[in-house]
Amino acid sequence: MDIQSYIASGKLELFLLGELNEREREEVLALSKQYPEIQQELNELEEAMFALDELTGTKPSPKVKDKIFASLESEFKKEETVKPTAAPIEAKVVKLSPWKPFAVAASLVAIIASAVAVFYANKFYERDQQFTALMQEQSVMADNLNQVKLDYEQKDTQLEKIIAGAFKRVEMKGEGFDMQKDAKVDVFWDQNAQEVFVAVNNLNSLSEEYDYQLWAIGDDGPIGIGLVNAGEKLTLQQMEAVAQAGAFAITIEPKGGSESPTLEKLVVLGEVA
Amino acid sequence: MEEEQLIAGLRAKDRKTTEYLYEKYSRALFAVISRIVHDSDIAEEVFHDSFVKIIKKIDRYEESKGRLYTWMANICRNSAIDKLRSKEISQSGKTNTIDDFVYGLESKSGTVEQTDAIGVRELMDQLNEDQRFIIEYIYFKGYTHSEVSEEFEIPLGTVKSRVRASLQVLKKNLDRI
């Protein structure tokens, strides 16, 4: 075989670069054993490649070396840790105190159980608080609903009365008086049922010490039949029963109302038609 | 230390022998990797993995199948090629050329390790255009000779003989530097 042309083929370089397949590799190895020239060429090429690598290379940083030897630590240690002489003594200790593993296990179980208990206790407390908050919210809503229901029933009853009854509307105005020229309040009066409602259309608000008081003026003079809330506009406010009246009037009286009207503070007056 | 002694020490998982191996070969093996993997952090990562692999798999090395350095260099080269072809690097889209590599050496020299960047450049300048091309692809870009043949439509035999010619030129000129 022509050794020089085999060497010149470039196969040896590819062998060194690890690029030959198994069969070709075997061939190079077999021939290198058979022909010293091939073996020598291989050696020279490898030297050259190493020299080239060495020349073109820089050392990796020292921290890489540390990391590598840290990674290999367990590899090196293998030998040293096979030898320890303390092992038999350790075994005896284990035999003498067989409760130890159980104690350790029991402690572990206790610790885990405690942790779990604390965890669920916290969860429970959290949920309990949320539940209480929800209950409170629910009770407030129930109260509100009750109030709305009462209001509704009241209004419904009033509406029924107004529609069903024989109510007379008496307009009371402030035009003729000095107190509030634009004041306007309506009285609804069912003479047969003796029921009276007022509906405020326009009435100034009063300071804390005073109230508006409604008077029914009949044959026996003015009778106080209730206090009017100026703030509740255009809603029906039920007053005391009146059987007989020629006119209705409102005066400003000290808080809580008076026995007889303070005529200087007459706000509105309306005559029954 | 003779190679036989070295291999025996490595097989016995001896720390001192491993340190000797590191001191003697880390520079060359790291060069094999860093001319393929440009990013120095990734190159060091590949080197770490390769060297650990060499020590752990030393039992798989057979003297009858080649010299120790060739075996180690092939492990490093293959790891570097694997890394290069993994997404991690190909995304950066960087291709290594001899000029990049020499430029890298020049920018590093004087800092960590003195490298003869001028020497490497002179050495590479000895190659003709075809040889430079082959070395660039096989040595620096991690191509196999059959990949070069297919991709650039150069007959396999021509690729082989150019690899040989290039290494011969480098081999001759190494002595002069």
Q: At what angle do helices B117-125 and B98-108 cross, to 10 degrees?
A: 160
Query: End of a domain among B70, B93, B116?
Result: B93
Q: Average pLDDT, whole number, for chain B?
A: 82
* Chain-chain contact of A8 with B64 (C-beta, under 8 angstroms): no
Residues B44, B102, single domain; the answer is no
Q: What integer pLDDT is reported at residue B53 of this predicted model?
A: 93
* Chain-chain contact of B52 with A71 (C-beta, under 8 angstroms): yes
Residues B78, B139, single domain; the answer is no
Which CATH number covers residue B69?
A: 1.10.1740.10
Q: pLDDT of B69-98, one tens digit each?
A: 999 999 999 998 888 887 555 545 455 677
For residue B23, what are the domain limits? 1-93
Residues B60, B115, single domain; the answer is no
Q: pLDDT of A51-73, one tens digit each?
A: 888 887 788 888 999 999 988 88
Comparison of pLDDT for A271 and A231, the residue scoring more:
A271
Q: What integer pLDDT is reported at residue B87 of this predicted model?
A: 57
**Gap between the Cα atoms of A116 and A139, Å rounded:** 34
**Gap between the Cα atoms of A225 and A203, Å rounded:** 18
Residues B61, B119, single domain; the answer is no
Q: pLDDT of A75-112, one tens digit each?
A: 875 555 444 444 444 444 455 566 777 888 888 899 99
Provide the chain B residues 8-47 that lie in CB contact (below 8 A) with chain A.
12-15, 18-19, 22, 26-32, 34-35, 43-44, 47
| A52 in reach of chain B (CB within 8 A) | yes
Q: Which of B67, B101, B146 sits opposite A46 (nearest CB)?
A: B67
Per the structure, the count of domains in chain B is 2
Residues B59, B100, single domain; the answer is no
Question: Chains A and B: how many Cβ contacts under 8 Å?
Answer: 143
**Gap between the Cα atoms of A50 and A53, Å rounded:** 5
* Chain-chain contact of B52 with A65 (C-beta, under 8 angstroms): no
**Is the pLDDT confidence value at A228 over 70?**
yes
Q: pLDDT of A252-264, one tens digit each?
A: 999 889 999 998 8
Q: How far is A34 from chain B (nearest CA, A)?
A: 13
**Gap between the Cα atoms of B149 and B60, Å rounded:** 31
Q: What integer pLDDT is reported at residue B55 of this predicted model?
A: 93
Which CATH number covers residue B102?
A: 1.10.10.10
Average pLDDT over residues A170-175: 91
| ipTM of this complex prediction, to 2 decimal places | 0.81
The residue in chain B having the minimum alpha-carbon distance to the alpha carbon of residue A78 is B13
A25, A14 Cβ separation under 8 angstroms? no
Residues B2, B87, single domain; the answer is yes
Residues B74, B126, single domain; the answer is no
**Is the pLDDT confidence value at B50 over 60?**
yes
Query: End of a domain among B36, B63, B93?
Result: B93
Find the range with the poorest average confidence among A86-95, A206-215, A254-263, B125-134. A86-95
Provide the chain A residues 29-48 that lie in CB contact (below 8 A) with chain B.
29, 43-46, 48
Query: End of a domain among B93, B112, B136?
Result: B93
* Chain-chain contact of B30 with A59 (C-beta, under 8 angstroms): yes
Tell me the chain A residues in contact with residue B160 when contact means C-beta distances shorter than 8 Å.
Answer: 9-11, 13-14
Find the range with the poorest average confidence among A76-80, A159-163, B49-53, B137-141. A76-80
* Chain-chain contact of B13 with A55 (C-beta, under 8 angstroms): no
**Gap between the Cα atoms of A63 and B32, Å rounded:** 19
Q: pLDDT of B11-45, one tens digit each?
A: 988 889 999 999 999 999 998 998 888 788 889 99
* Chain-chain contact of B30 with A58 (C-beta, under 8 angstroms): yes
Q: What integer pLDDT is reported at residue A20 of this predicted model?
A: 85
Q: How far is B148 from chain A (nearest CA, A)?
A: 12
Tokens representing A237 are 């406010």
Nearest-CA neighbor of B142 among B54, B53, B14, B46?
A: B46
Q: What integer pLDDT is reported at residue B91 of this predicted model?
A: 47
Q: How far is A84 from chain B (nearest CA, A)?
A: 18
Q: Place A172 in a pLDDT band, splitting at 50, 70 and 90.
A: very high
Q: What integer pLDDT is reported at residue B105 of this predicted model?
A: 63
